[in-house]
Structure 1
Amino acid sequence: MDEQDTAAILHGDVLSDTAEEPQLDVNKEEPGVPSTDVVRPPVTCSLPVSVEPVLFLSMFSLALQAPLSTQYLWDRISEDLGYNGSKRSECGNSSAPPDPLQKEVETLTAHWNLYISLGGFSVGLLVVPLLGSWSDLAGRRRVLILPNLGLALQTIVYLVVMYLKLPVVYFLVGRLLSGLSGDFNAVLAGCFAYVADISDRRSRTFRVAILEACLGLSGMLASIIGGQWRRAQGYINPFWLVLATNLVSALYAFLFVRESVVPDPSAKLLTTRHHKAVWHLYSSGGSSSEAGGQFHRCKLWLYTLCFFLVVTVHFGSRELYVLYELSSPLCWGPDFIGYGSAAHHLGYLSSLAGIKIMQRCMEDSWVALVGLASNIVGLVVFSVANSTQLMFTGYGLCLLFMTSTPVLRSKLSKLVEPSEQGALFASVACVESLCYLVGSGVFNSLYPATLHFMKGFPFLLAAIILFIPAGIIGTLQCLEQRRDQRDATVS
């Protein structure tokens, strides 16, 4: 056994002796066997490493940058308009009329945030499927390196704007440049596709859950660091850390991450073939749908719908937590808001442990239903929370809320061939971006519109929406069990 085989076994993978062996059937249950051949380019390190650090570092930079850029927009627009006040966050009954200048600052900041988000989303909608499908042929490492370099370029533009006090429209320019390289969604697609490549069907859900936990932990760490650092040293120094983090993530992917597919040197990036591959995936169910027919394609669409609804609720409700806690009757200060954010992010770790435990005694679909039940009960408690104790009770009940999304990603991955993982997860990443836009827009509009009859109504609506994916997942699992029983009886 040579050094390459030893490193692969330590990594949890099995190497193929030749590239000419037939591809594995993803519909067969073969624990310990990866979906694709694993090769190591000559520039990579021999250590057994994976992509979790890439996703952690990329998410850290994004979570550190996003709130700081919004606060910078607020300060720059306030300076341009001559507004010297501060946005009030204290809880109290003030009879003073609202400051019209403050309202204008709030409106312009919200609009610029929307323009920047839409600019990145519209470009990424074209680029991310292209890169994801291309990675099925050219390899995953390139799709891990290129978007991080684009994010670093965006940060450089932001730093130039801050140093030279350029108009805030240049933030949009930086976002578009990042979108042309795939943005963070391409990193997501590459990391999840990589894990699908190197994991077998039995362990895939847990490996995906580890990546989800990386997202939560890095987001929590960045939230803690960013606010304190900005208060102490302003905006520029934290953005230098954002730049360094993106470059380190790209360097790590280049030096340490082994390739998970056999690269095709003749694979071209700028071709319509990649978008056609994504279209084929959802129009016909992909290459593996030949065995499952119409039911296979329906499952692909239904699980994607479930993912859309669940993630939209996650993003939408998360946008309201701080606003709900700041106002009466909770009237939380910064300390309690920090504790609440920590309790929310703790759900990523507890969900990871929950998946590991529950997989020993139940199918993945039932694990997802337990997670949805946890989320539903917690949201119902949030909708009526009028005390600190009740609010933290809701956070406690939501400790398994992140078990559903890893299961859905894993189920989608198992529905397609190894050669289609990149196209699939690129599509899922685009859906996730759409979830953020829809969730943020709907729930932020719904909250002020329902204050007069029920302050927590958006949380209650979110809980009701989650019954839809719960019903779909439960129904599909029952149908699959009946079909398996019928096939076993016939055989």
Structure 2
Amino acid sequence: MYEPDTAAILPGDVLNSASTDDEVSPSDSFDNNEEVHARTSSSLRPPFSCPLPVSVEPVLFLSMFSLALQAPLSTQYLWGRISEDLGYNGSKRSECSNSSVLPDPLLKEVETLTAHWNMYISLGGFSLGLLVVPLLGSWSDLAGRRPVLIIPNLGMALQAVVYLVVMYLKLPVAYFLLGRLLSGLSGDFNGILAGCFAYVADTSDRQSRTFRVAVLEACLGLSGMLASIIGGQWRRAQGYINPFWLVLATNLASALYAYLFVRESVLPDPSAKLLTTRHHKAIWHLFSTGGSTNEAGGGFHRCKLWMYMLCFFLVVTVHSGCRELFVLYELSSPLCWGPALIGYGSAALHLAYLSSLLGLKIMQCCLEDSWVAIVGLASNIIGLVVFSVADTTQLMFTGYGLCFLFMASTPVIRSKLSKLVGLSEQGALFACVACVETLCYLVGSSLFNSLYPATLHFMKGFPFLFAAIILFIPAGMIGTLQCLDQRRKHRGFTAS
């Protein structure tokens, strides 16, 4: 087990982040930190120190900005290229149109091919990510976090280069898949997610960890909102190529920031190898035994790990699935929103990341983290119920307003998972969480995009109602686990 660099972590945080108990021996903490200080060299420090009170937040912000800017642009480029290849030069028709003209059969073919290529590209990156991200995450527990922050950003930059070459030379769109595979081989955005959340787990104590994780998730929302606004306007003004140069520059800037300013939080082992089955075995050991901290918890400890992971899967699947339906729901009747209203709705959804961060900080003053998560889920459920019956613009924005705490649950679940494993297992854990998150996007997209057309004949907003019902499951599980924990603590207190 390798201890973190004392330059990045305050005294006493080492055992706090590794232990599942709230009490740590002060003497043990000081002894461990003295040992770490003796083994730490100046080579672990970055070339420069950042004057701002941030660590990996800019890395995640820039990487997410790049991803959120790239994703819609690449889909629109695929649409344009496929339309050009098939000779289709029409525009998409809306349900709100009064035109009685029969739809162009080429339109359906363009939509189908675009959807298929999007699926091929996503599956290509996801399949490689399932193999590479667990390797990188577990390897970072030994080799350090900084490489996992730098390598995936360089891979995403390489993907942007391939996309730019395709656009300049008008190569077949199949080369987009090549760029996605190259990014997947480097860990892709999921590798950055795993590295950033593991870094925060290394450098925070048990009391502040949930809020630190929430700050990272707020970075995701804020950067996504800015990228959505900038990307749409820029594409309309100058086309696809110039925005993709910003994608490339942003990924390189993120990698450069990680190299120059991020302090290492794990003492690297020079002998640590990346390409070895040891890393996958470490992940299997983590979930089959409950990790290195599962000494007194037994089966209950391992059960909590699996149950919180299931809660995370359900919540993120609902979030990702519903997010894909919002635009489709708003474009069609009876709402018939235009680009401006759709932009405002997207902004309102992303602003909920910031309101959730503020709400979480306030609620932590009087509530346990588990109850904070349940309040966040309740906000999400109420908002989804309103979405399911929204037939006016006012009602739709009322739903967005009621979801102002909907992102308060995921940082709590990430923090709960982090506190269940040891310090030397944070990278492996968050690598698994990142892979599960990608799986959530695929499952959510497939499930809700299939459910929406299947239920149009009896209730257009049924997928949102279905999503609200699903969220009762993680709410019940989190509340049950919290009650069991309180009961166990009470029994331990009375026994002593």
Same fold (TM over 0.5): yes
Aligned to 2:191: 186
Aligned to 2:387: 382
> Does the C-alpha gap of structure 1 residues 413 and 178 become closer, same or farther in structure 2, counting only changes over 3 Å?
same
1:487 to 488, 492, 495: 492
Q: Deviations over 1:331-365 (max 9, x none)?
A: 11111111111111111000000110000101000
Q: Deviations over 1:393-414 (max 9, x none)?
A: 1001000000000000000000
Aligned to 1:268: 273
Quote the Cα distance in structure 2 between the aligned partners of 1:98 and 1:119.
32
SS at the partner of 1:91?
A: coil
Q: Deviations over 1:81-116 (max 9, x none)?
A: 010112234723432222110000000000000000
Q: Deviations over 1:139-198 (max 9, x none)?
A: 000000000000000000000000000001100000000000000000000000000000
Q: Is the 8 A contact 2:17 2:201 kept in 1?
A: no
Aligned residues, how many? 480
Q: Is the 8 A contact 2:45 2:263 kept in 1?
A: no
2:48 to 41, 45, 52: 45
Residue 327 (structure 1) shift: 0.9
Residue 63 of structure 1 pairs with residue 100 of structure 2: no
Q: Which amino acid aligns with 1:206?
A: F
Quote the Cα distance in structure 2 between the aligned partners of 1:279 and 1:289.
14
Quote the Cα distance in structure 2 between the aligned partners of 1:285 and 1:77.
49
Residue 338 of structure 1 pairs with residue 343 of structure 2: yes
Quote the Cα distance in structure 2 between the aligned partners of 1:66 and 1:46.
33
Query: Gaps spanning 5+ residues in structure 1: where?
Result: none
Quote the Cα distance in structure 2 between the aligned partners of 1:97 and 1:286.
61
1:27 to 12, 20, 33: 20
Quote the Cα distance in structure 2 between the aligned partners of 1:285 and 1:274.
16
Residue 176 of structure 1 pairs with residue 181 of structure 2: yes
SS at the partner of 1:193?
A: helix
Quote the Cα distance in structure 2 between the aligned partners of 1:148 and 1:83.
36
Of 31-40 and 220-229, the range deviating more from structure 2: 31-40
Residue 30 (structure 1) shift: 6.1
Residue 44 (structure 1) shift: 2.9
SS at the partner of 1:289?
A: coil
Residue 321 of structure 1 pairs with residue 317 of structure 2: no
Quote the Cα distance in structure 2 between the aligned partners of 1:137 and 1:253.
18
Aligned to 1:162: 167
Q: Which amino acid aligns with 1:153?
A: L
> Does the C-alpha gap of structure 1 residues 42 and 208 become closer, same or farther in structure 2, counting only changes over 3 Å?
closer
1:195 to 194, 200, 222: 200
Of 206-215 and 320-329, the range deviating more from structure 2: 320-329
Quote the Cα distance in structure 1 between the aligned partners of 2:23 and 2:150.
31
Percent of residue pairs identical: 81
Aligned to 2:10: 14
Q: Deviations over 1:30-86 (max 9, x none)?
A: 699899968662443233640000000000000000000000000000000010112
TM-score (norm 2): 0.93
Q: Is the 8 A contact 1:120 1:175 kept in 2?
A: yes
SS at the partner of 1:266?
A: coil
Aligned to 1:441: 446
1:366 to 350, 356, 371: 371
Q: How does 1:292-307 map to 2 (within 5 A)?
A: 292-307=297-312
Coordinate RMSD, CA, aligned = 2.1
Quote the Cα distance in structure 2 between the aligned partners of 1:437 and 1:105.
22
Q: Is the 8 A contact 2:45 2:264 kept in 1?
A: no
Quote the Cα distance in structure 1 between the aligned partners of 2:361 and 2:16.
29
Quote the Cα distance in structure 2 between the aligned partners of 1:136 and 1:307.
22
Residue 269 (structure 1) shift: 0.6
Aligned to 1:133: 138
Aligned to 2:317: 312
SS at the partner of 1:466?
A: helix
Q: Is the 8 A contact 1:44 1:258 kept in 2?
A: no
Q: How does 1:82-121 map to 2 (within 5 A)?
A: 82-89=87-94, 91-121=96-126
Quote the Cα distance in structure 1 between the aligned partners of 2:450 and 2:20.
43
Residue 24 (structure 1) shift: 6.7
2:432 to 427, 432, 436: 427
TM-score (norm 1): 0.94
Residue 466 of structure 1 pairs with residue 460 of structure 2: no
Q: Which amino acid aligns with 1:133?
A: S
Aligned to 2:397: 392
Q: Is the 8 A contact 1:49 1:256 kept in 2?
A: no
Quote the Cα distance in structure 2 between the aligned partners of 1:203 and 1:261.
19
Of 24-33 and 249-258, the range deviating more from structure 2: 24-33
Residue 468 (structure 1) shift: 0.5
> Does the C-alpha gap of structure 1 residues 393 and 22 become closer, same or farther in structure 2, counting only changes over 3 Å?
closer
Quote the Cα distance in structure 1 between the aligned partners of 2:212 and 2:455.
40
Q: Deviations over 1:351-394 (max 9, x none)?
A: 00011000010100000000000000000000000111110110
Q: Which amino acid aligns with 1:14?
A: L
Aligned to 1:354: 359
SS at the partner of 1:264?
A: coil
Quote the Cα distance in structure 2 between the aligned partners of 1:389 and 1:188.
36
Quote the Cα distance in structure 2 between the aligned partners of 1:291 and 1:358.
31
Quote the Cα distance in structure 1 between the aligned partners of 2:461 and 2:109.
27
Q: Is the 8 A contact 1:49 1:257 kept in 2?
A: no
Quote the Cα distance in structure 2 between the aligned partners of 1:291 and 1:236.
57
Residue 251 of structure 1 pairs with residue 251 of structure 2: no
Q: Is the 8 A contact 2:17 2:206 kept in 1?
A: no
Q: Is the 8 A contact 2:313 2:440 kept in 1?
A: yes
> Does the C-alpha gap of structure 1 residues 156 and 25 become closer, same or farther in structure 2, counting only changes over 3 Å?
closer
Q: Is the 8 A contact 1:129 1:426 kept in 2?
A: yes
Quote the Cα distance in structure 2 between the aligned partners of 1:42 and 1:478.
43
Query: Gaps spanning 5+ residues in structure 2: where?
Result: none
Quote the Cα distance in structure 1 between the aligned partners of 2:23 and 2:353.
28
Quote the Cα distance in structure 2 between the aligned partners of 1:227 and 1:166.
24
Residue 28 (structure 1) shift: 3.1
Q: Is the 8 A contact 2:160 2:247 kept in 1?
A: yes
Quote the Cα distance in structure 1 between the aligned partners of 2:326 and 2:62.
25
2:85 to 56, 76, 80: 80
Quote the Cα distance in structure 1 between the aligned partners of 2:490 and 2:319.
35
